[in-house]
Every structure is written in C-alpha cells, then in structure tokens.
A = this chain, B = another copy of it.
Amino acid sequence: MKAIVNVYLKEGVLDPQGKAVHHALGALGFENVSNVRVGKQIVLDLQSSSEEEAKQEVEKMCETLLANTVIEDYNIEIVQ
C-alpha cells in the first residue's frame, strides 16, 4: 500500500522558497504567474492490512514527525 502525504505551509505563513521561485520565474520571462507556494510531497510504502489502518497510522506520523502543525497543513491519500 502507498500513502502520498502533501505537506504545505498554512495560508498566511510567509513562504520564502515560493517567493524565490516566483522571482526566478519572472526573471526567466514567465510573466503569467501570480503566486507560488512550495511544499513537500512524501511517498510512503506501507505494509498495513487495511486502508483505514494505513490512514490512521500516517495521520499519527504527520502529527509527530512529518508536519509542523503550527505552521503547516497536510493531506493524506492512500493508493493501491
């Protein structure tokens, strides 16, 4: 089973990496871009018996390690 976790900064939290990418895109001539946010995508291979169990376990991982819930949100998608 595979879990895809997207971790991204909450709305309103400054994203310097996104700002840098936005600036660089502008310098390269891409003028159509109005905003850029950069987050993390973590792909986990799991040996869980059920989708429900996998989701609960990954949620615990997010709360304890994968995301800083003070400034970051996350979403979890279980595939296969």
Contacts and interface: CB of A to CB of B under 8 A. Distances in A.
Contact of A41 (B38, B44, B65): B38
State the oligomeric state as a number of copies.
2
- Considering residues A32, A47, A48, A61, which has the most beta carbons from chain B within 10 angstroms of its beta carbon? A32
A14 interface: no
Contact of A32 (B6, B34, B48): B48
Interface of A: 6, 8, 18, 21, 24-25, 28, 30, 32-48, 57, 60-61, 64-66
Contacts of A46: 32-34
Contacts of A38: 40-43
Given A25-B61, A25-B65, A65-B24, A33 B44 contact: yes
